[in-house]
Amino acid sequence: MFEDLKKAALDYHEFPVPGKLATQITKPCTTQQELSLAYTPGVAEPVRVIAGDADLAYRYTNKGNLVAVITDGSAVLGLGDVGALAGKPVMEGKAVLFKRFAKIDVFDLEVDAQEIDVFVDTVARIASGFGGINLEDIAAPRCFDIERALSERLDIPVFHDDQHGTAIIICAGLLNALELQDKTLAEANIVCLGAGAAGIASMRLLKELGASADKILMLDRRGVISRKRQDLNPYKQEFAIDTDRVTLAEAMRGADVFIGVSGPNLVTPDMLASMAARPIVFALSNPDPEIDPPIAHQVRPDLIMATGRSDYPNQVNNVLGFPFIFRGALDVRARAINSEMQKAAVEGLRVLAQEPVLPEILRAYRLQSLAFGPEYIIPKPFDPRLMDYVPPAVARAAVDSGVARTGYPKHYQPAASF
């Protein structure tokens, strides 16, 4: 089975031409006159006007629909630090998803830089031609420093999807799961196993949405992050609390929510059994979750569970977020993707999951029926209404929070009222 998948994947990337991307000409260039407009002498006219007003690049170039997907190759999928070039297939794949789901053009850039300041300087110097920057597969904690530095230097959105994209999908699904389990975010006891990019960003966003900081227990490889520890970097210190709990088993006792962004098979049946009534488990390690779903449901029939896998219900899939978030940001020429825009994306996804499921979605997933409930707390990636719910919500939040260069797009349908 593994060898079949390996060959199929390599053949897919090699044939009929190497790679997954190509460029496309968007204007006719078949006559001498058209050639003179596309290049010299006609091209001089947009050059002159952009030199006088940089914002006109949105009008006369592809900047407004172009995102750079950039990595240093330090944390590629589950493969670790494989180097910038080896990360290129993943960056191409990300570009495919941008184009397929939100019609956004992408250049993938693989930056061979070990030092944070070199990476930041490289990206900052080439950023002016893009409408946004999507950072990808960069190891923690360097990813936090890189994103902050680039956000401070640039006037276009800088978005680290492994942080914020994952956080947005987790939060949308969790809010719906809490509603179904008759619990509130403010009162929920939350355990987060994994203190990297995804874990820290998810807990930050949950706090902004109303989670109680003193009810969050975050764990890294050494156990619970508490104020007793002396080995914490500044990002982990943000989640250090006063507690005598040290191990995962101790943290899980009485927990309402478990979010795993760590590794396979780290949660035992006994740990799951010790959670509070009607627990919520997001076991997101890929391809093997922190606990196997059939085992989890056998131990706790009252749980709601999500994974990172497409062959189980409630897949936490970043493709639900980043294409549509950038679509909304680009459509108002946003200078950033701020917390207001992220929370708007959460709400758009949360509300869409409660809408009736379209027949074409049932056909695409070979389902007879599907409705909001324990096995459907997050929209499906092929739901065409994602474009109607997420980009308008993000665009409205950008305008209302003052980071948009333009007003709310007239071509948008009225955003869902939430």
Q: What whole-number distance in Å separates Cα of residue 296 and Cα of residue 304?
A: 10
pLDDT of residue 242: 96
pLDDT tens figures, 23-41: 999 999 999 999 999 999 9
Instruction: Report the pLDDT value the prediction gives residue 78, as an integer from 0 to 100.
Output: 79
d(CA 348, CA 379): 10
Rg (CA), the chain: 22
The 10s digit of each residue's pLDDT in 40-66 is 999 999 999 999 999 999 999 999 999
SS3 94: helix
Set 6, 20, 63, 94: catalytic member: 94
Confidence class of residue 363 from pLDDT cuts 50, 70 and 90? very high
**Cα–Cα distance for residue pair 217/256, rounded to 1 Å:** 11
| Domain extents in the chain | 12-156, 164-307, 318-401
> What is the model's pLDDT at position 1?
54
Burial of 51 (0-12, 13-18, 19+ CB in 10 A): exposed
Q: Which of 315, 304, 325, 319 is nearest to 378 (CA)?
A: 315
281: nearest Cα among 311, 302, 250, 310: 302
Question: Angle 343-162-4 (CA atoms, 0-180°, nearest 5)?
Answer: 130
CATH of 12-156, one of 2.40.128.110, 3.10.129.10, 3.50.50.60, 3.40.50.10380: 3.40.50.10380
Catalytic residue from among 6, 12, 20, 39: 39
Question: Counting beta carbons within 10 angstroms of the beta carbon of residue 308, is it exposed (0 to 12), middle (13 to 18) or buried (19 or more)?
Answer: buried
Confidence of residue 410 (pLDDT cuts 50, 70, 90): confident
**12-156 shares its CATH topology with 164-307:** yes
Is omega for the bond preceding 287 within 30 degrees of 0, making it cis? yes
Active site residue 365: no
Q: Give residue 16's pLDDT.
A: 95
For 103-125, letters b (16+ CB in 10 Å) and e give: ebbbbbbbbebeebeebbebbbe
Instruction: Let me know if 60 is a catalytic residue.
Output: no
Asked whether residue 417 carries a pLDDT value surpassing 70, the answer given is: no
Q: What SS3 class is residue 217?
A: strand
Q: What is the pLDDT of residues 301-340, one digit of tens each?
A: 999 999 999 999 999 999 999 999 999 999 999 999 999 9
Higher pLDDT, 78 or 67: 67
In the prediction, which pLDDT does 4 show?
85
* 88-102 helix and 386-401 helix, angle to the nearest 10 degrees: 100
pLDDT tens digit sequence for 167-203: 999 999 999 999 999 999 999 999 999 999 999 999 9
pLDDT the model gives residue 415: 52
pLDDT band at 412 (very low <50, low <70, confident <90, very high): confident
Position 119 pLDDT exceeds 90: yes
| Domain 164-307 in CATH 3.40.309.10 | no
Supply φ then ψ for residue 200, to 5 degrees.
-65, -45
Across residues 119-141, what is the average pLDDT? 97
Q: Name every residue whose Cβ is closer than 8 Å to that of residue 39 and which is 6 or more positions away in sequence.
A: none
Q: How confident is the model at residue 2 (pLDDT cuts 50, 70, 90)?
A: low
Return the pLDDT at 37: 95
**Amino acid identity at 392:** P
Look at residue 416 and tell me whether its pLDDT is greater than 70: no
